[in-house]
């Protein structure tokens, strides 16, 4: 235990009041700044909500006239994101490329390995348990997973993800956990962390402690808690593309079901410019190199949009399809609306560029569909609603205009999409993942800091797969002058410290501790964001007629 840890809280247990994870009560932080050596985690005081009034100046400065929110929320939503749940022995894995992360020709193919990744199922269990505990004590309408639920669009990754979120028996060995050919099993390779090893590796050289037996414990079956609420899925780039980057052909799908996992690029291969460009053109470019044996597995088959949607239609839990419909399967689309809460609409987008690369775009068909769905719930419609956009990419990463010979439909990037949303004042928020960082970004209409009836706020949430392993609770209330959105960050239900590393939550604790010491993470070491990106209260001005219409609709709620 760190010298400045709080002894009474060092092994927190479930309190039964939903407070275990609420970062307004207490937070989990590094005991000191990371400076290249392993740092323990410790408890810190809770963090109060910060007023973010860029869209409504003065709302939090004592002039609260018109901003007193309703007693009951219109919507209570849990968001978690970026599981990147990986089959550790899949031939699709390119974990060996982490050795080349300093070579500019390979940098956009990394990070390709996380030392804590063999504990990812347990990290998801810790976050799901936290959401369930909160839902047992507080009203929670829905949980939304905002994409990159899988790592490489494989069927076995999807099946395990859905079981973790819904709850039920989970077998980590179905994703290669504990297998001798997984990174933890390659004990003679110093590029990977070996918690039960004895030979030095790059991570123990930096002070990451050994945790004997953790790798074996991680392979044991367990019963997942599940989030305990209805849940919706968003389609991310790792759900749509091989390694989140390239289109998977039938030939590639056959390859990943096979029995050889590469450990180096093919002999003689050198990127023409950078490896990512070659990989997007043909992911088979990294096959055929030196390899090790793995069990062949038909459940590794690569899923297209239809397969991904059909997997959800057959899944347990509510709602049926988890947002997707039979129409999505028939039309090979992965976007939809969810109208189960009076006065609110969640519009879920598929922001993946079907031609490849990891950042996002909207094709012309979906852009037109979005405009139609927004018009349906305007203030003068028969069904006025406030709108939250749920997408994997936020506006800052809707920057991917790549097209190829097969994919040549017009694409709409950030400026087009933001302009469309600003024409519809009922849009109050956009929730996303992808960047693996907690970030709150007001988007005022026409670039103005105050525009009655215009403007919304983006909430990007950090990844479950990396530090700080958190989820975000959003609560929407209505006030005479607009919507009041309260954002609260919650930690995993995993204990701060563990000794045995045998139970799922103890293993989740280990995952978080190691993740906090991984400088190569996508979100970086400061992925927790600033105080203004975590626990905040945002005021979003709305036209009076929209406020009145939504208030009337909310009266129909049970």
3-state secondary structure string across 229-261: CCEEECCCHHHHCECCCECCCHHHHHHHCCCEE
Domain ranges of the chain: 7-554
Instruction: Quote the pLDDT of residue 61.
Output: 62
Given a contact cutoff of 8 angstroms between Cβ atoms, the answer to whether 75 and 141 are in contact is yes
The token pair at 397 is 């990463």
Q: What is the mean pLDDT of each run of 10 residues along the chain (558 residues)?
A: 31 41 95 96 96 86 75 96 98 95 92 97 98 95 98 97 97 98 95 95 96 97 98 98 94 96 94 92 94 97 97 97 97 97 97 95 97 95 95 97 85 96 96 98 73 78 98 97 97 93 96 97 96 97 92 74
Given a contact cutoff of 8 angstroms between Cβ atoms, the answer to whether 516 and 39 are in contact is yes
Given a contact cutoff of 8 angstroms between Cβ atoms, the answer to whether 121 and 84 are in contact is no
Residue-wise DSSP of 22-56: BTTTEEEEESS--SSS---EEEEE----EEE-TTS
CATH of domain 7-554: 3.60.21.10
Within 13 Å, how many C-alpha atoms sit on residue 176's CB side? Answer: 30
CA distance 443 to 181: 47
Please return the burial class of 38, using the count of CB atoms within 10 Å of its CB with bins 0-12, 13-18 and 19+: middle
Torsion of CA 442, 447, 449, 450, to 10 degrees: -110
Given a contact cutoff of 8 angstroms between Cβ atoms, the answer to whether 462 and 436 are in contact is yes
How distant, in Å, are the alpha carbons of 345, 360, 424, 440 from that of 350?
A: 16, 9, 20, 21
List CB contacts of 367: < 8 A, sequence separation 6 or more. Answer: 412, 416, 417, 420
- Angle at 100 (CA atoms; ends 98, 106), nearest 5 degrees: 100
Instruction: Quote the pLDDT of residue 106.
Output: 93
- Longest CA pairwise span in the chain (Å): 70
Given a contact cutoff of 8 angstroms between Cβ atoms, the answer to whether 40 and 2 are in contact is yes
Q: Is the dihedral of CA 258, 259, 262, 268 positive or negative?
A: negative
Q: Which residues of 353-370 are buried (b: 16+ CB within 10 A; e: fewer)?
A: bbbbbbbbbbbeebbebb
Query: 231 has which bridge partners?
Result: 143
pTM value? 0.94
């Amino acid at each position: 235990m760190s010298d400045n840890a709080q002894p009474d809280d060092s092994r927190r247990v479930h309190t039964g009041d939903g407070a275990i994870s609420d970062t307004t009560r207490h937070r989990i932080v590094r005991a000191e700044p990371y400076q290249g050596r392993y740092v323990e985690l410790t408890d810190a005081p809770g963090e109060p909500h910060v007023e973010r009034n860029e869209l409504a100046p003065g709302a939090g400065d004592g002039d609260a006239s018109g901003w007193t929110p309703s007693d009951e929320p219109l919507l209570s939503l849990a968001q978690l994101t970026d599981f990147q749940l990986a089959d550790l022995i899949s031939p699709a894995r390119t974990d060996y490329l982490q050795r080349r992360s300093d070579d500019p020709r390979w940098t956009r193919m990394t990070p390709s390995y996380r030392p804590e990744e063999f504990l990812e199922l347990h990290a998801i269990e810790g976050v799901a348990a936290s959401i369930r505990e909160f839902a047992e004590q507080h009203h929670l309408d829905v949980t939304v997973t905002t994409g990159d639920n899988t790592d490489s669009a494989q069927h076995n990754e999807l099946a395990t993800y859905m079981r973790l979120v819904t709850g039920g028996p989970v077998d980590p060995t179905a994703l290669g956990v504990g297998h001798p050919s997984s990174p933890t099993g390659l004990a003679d390779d110093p590029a990977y962390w070996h918690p039960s090893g004895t030979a030095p590796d790059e991570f123990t050289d930096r002070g990451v402690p050994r945790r004997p037996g953790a790798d074996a414990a991680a392979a044991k079956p367990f019963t997942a808690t599940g989030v305990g609420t209805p849940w919706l899925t968003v389609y991310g780039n790792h759900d749509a593309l091989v390694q989140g980057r390239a289109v998977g052909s039938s030939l590639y799908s056959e390859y990943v079901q096979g029995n050889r996992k590469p450990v180096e690029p093919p002999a003689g291969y050198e990127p023409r410019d950078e490896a990512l460009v070659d990989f997007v053109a043909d992911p088979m470019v990294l096959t055929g190199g030196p390899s090790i044996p793995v069990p062949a597995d038909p459940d590794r088959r690569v899923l297209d949009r239809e397969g991904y949607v059909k997997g959800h239609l057959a899944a347990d839990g509510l709602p049926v399809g988890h947002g997707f419909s039979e129409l999505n399967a028939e039309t090979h689309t992965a976007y939809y609306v969810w109208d189960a809460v009076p006065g609110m609409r969640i519009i879920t987008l598929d922001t993946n560029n079907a031609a490849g690369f990891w950042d996002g775009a909207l094709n012309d068909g979906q852009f037109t569909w979005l405009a139609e769905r927004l018009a349906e719930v305007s203030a003068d419609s028969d069904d006025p609603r406030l709108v939250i956009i749920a997408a994997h990419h936020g506006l800052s990463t809707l920057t991917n205009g790549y097209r190829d010979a097969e994919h040549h439909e017009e694409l709409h990037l950030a400026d087009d999409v933001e302009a469309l949303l600003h024409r519809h004042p009922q849009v109050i928020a956009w929730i996303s993942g992808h960047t693996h960082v907690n970030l709150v970004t007001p988007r005022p209409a026409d670039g103005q800091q105050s525009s009655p009836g215009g403007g919304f706020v983006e909430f990007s949430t950090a990844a479950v797969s990396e530090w700080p392993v958190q989820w975000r609770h959003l609560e929407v209330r209505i006030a005479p002058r607009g919507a009041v959105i309260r954002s609260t960050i919650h930690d995993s239900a995993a204990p701060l410290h563990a000794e045995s590393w045998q139970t799922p939550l103890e293993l989740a604790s280990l995952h978080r501790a190691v993740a906090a010491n991984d400088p190569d993470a996508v979100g970086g070491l400061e992925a927790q964001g600033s105080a203004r990106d975590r626990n905040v209260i945002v005021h979003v001005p709305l036209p009076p007629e929209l406020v009145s219409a939504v208030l009337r609709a909310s009266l129909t709620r049970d």
